[in-house]
């Protein structure tokens, strides 16, 4: 089905990265590698690693005393942030604050990019990124065809030879299809309104599923660009998987990330 974009005042253009935090970052990195991701770069000044497969960028933040590690101590292995591509990061950030978002005081070091961020679900962060390869049709090597990783990261020496080709292939995962939010009962509409008010998302599908033992409600929200999809789920009772997640995770948050592939059978076989 062909997607028809609508008015997009924030200039969203998809996901740029998903940032993870974990008490054991090494084990999480090994899991990513089993999934076909390749560690291709390290932050210039921090213990932060970039993993890539296809167009999917996963970041593991193991920097001591960072927001990410504080997040991991509270929630365990989790997504502490996600980044949206936008046409103008400063403009998008200013607009978000005007519309009631809570800004995040991002501590940057010398010669580091100051990537603006607001608080999102469960006190995770939403970053605004306006630098990526191919933005606006820019060709490789062209002025403006610079990503945040070109500035803040350095390629891993042992992975630089053929790393781009390996990361592109992986196990066949190519893009982020969607990521979900699990919220407390009665809060689904509040978070749907958050994305609608700030980013112009629309509800494209609604589910009210009643099983024999448990039930759930879900609003599937989509950005004006059609590339950012966020289902928001709430439980109908205290016995569902959503309710269990809220207890174990100690709050609302990003429950899962769905990744796209051209051949799901071949991808699973490689894993």
Tens place of pLDDT for every residue, the chain, 271 residues?
677 888 999 999 999 999 999 999 999 999 999 999 999 999 999 999 999 999 999 999 999 989 999 999 999 999 999 999 999 999 999 999 999 999 998 877 777 889 999 999 999 999 999 988 887 777 776 667 889 998 999 999 865 555 555 666 789 999 999 999 999 999 999 999 999 999 999 999 877 666 555 667 889 999 999 999 999 999 888 878 899 999 999 999 999 999 999 999 999 998 8
Cα–Cα distance, 206 to 223 (Å, whole number): 16
Amino acid 261: pLDDT: 94
* Residue carrying structure tokens 């899991």: 31
Amino acid 207: pLDDT: 74
User: Per the structure block, which two tokens stand in for 30?
Assistant: 């090994």
Cα–Cα distance, 158 to 151 (Å, whole number): 20
> Which of 101, 99, 129, 102 is closest to 114 using CA atoms?
129
Cα–Cα distance, 46 to 64 (Å, whole number): 9
Amino acid 209: pLDDT: 64
CA distances from 212 to 116, 209, 215, 237, 240 (A): 45, 10, 8, 12, 11
Cα–Cα distance, 96 to 198 (Å, whole number): 6
Q: What is the DSSP letter of 229?
A: E
> Which of 258, 227, 17 is closest to 115 using CA atoms?
17
User: Per the structure block, which two tokens stand in for 50?
Assistant: 């970039």
Amino acid 136: pLDDT: 73
Q: Does the predicted TM-score (pTM) go above 0.95?
A: no
Cα–Cα distance, 56 to 220 (Å, whole number): 21
* Residue carrying structure tokens 């390996």: 166
Exposed, middle or buried, 167 (CB in 10 Å: 0-12/13-18/19+)?
buried
Give first-to-last CA distance, the chain, whole Å: 30
- Show the domains of the chain with their CATH numbers: 12-171 (3.10.180.10), 174-270 (3.10.180.10)
């Amino acid at each position: 089905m062909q997607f028809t974009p609508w008015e997009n005042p924030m200039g969203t253009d998809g996901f740029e990265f998903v940032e993870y935090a974990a008490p054991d970052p090494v084990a999480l990195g090994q899991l990513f590698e089993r999934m076909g991701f390749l560690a291709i770069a390290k932050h210039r000044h921090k213990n932060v690693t970039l993993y890539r497969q296809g167009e999917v960028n996963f970041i593991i933040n193991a920097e001591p005393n960072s927001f990410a590690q504080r997040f991991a101590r509270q929630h365990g292995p989790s997504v502490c942030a996600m980044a949206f591509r936008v046409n103008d990061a400063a403009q998008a950030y200013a607009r978000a604050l005007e519309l009631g978002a809570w800004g995040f005081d991002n501590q940057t070091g010398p010669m580091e990019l100051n990537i603006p961020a607001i608080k999102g679900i469960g006190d995770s962060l939403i970053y605004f990124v306006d630098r990526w390869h191919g933005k606006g049709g820019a060709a490789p090597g062209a002025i403006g065809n610079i990503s945040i990783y070109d500035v803040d990261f350095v390629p891993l020496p042992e992975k630089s030879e053929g790393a781009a080709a390996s990361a592109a292939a992986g196990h066949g995962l190519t893009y982020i299809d969607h990521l979900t939010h699990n919220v407390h009962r009665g809060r689904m509409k509040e978070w749907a309104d958050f994305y609608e008010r700030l980013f112009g998302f629309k509800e494209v599908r609604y589910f009210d599923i009643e099983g024999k033992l448990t039930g759930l409600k879900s609003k599937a929200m989509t950005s004006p660009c059609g590339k950012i999809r966020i289902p928001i789920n709430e439980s109908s009772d205290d016995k569902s998987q959503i309710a269990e997640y809220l207890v174990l995770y100690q709050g609302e948050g990003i429950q899962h990330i769905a990744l796209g592939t051209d051949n799901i059978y071949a991808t699973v076989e490689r894993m």
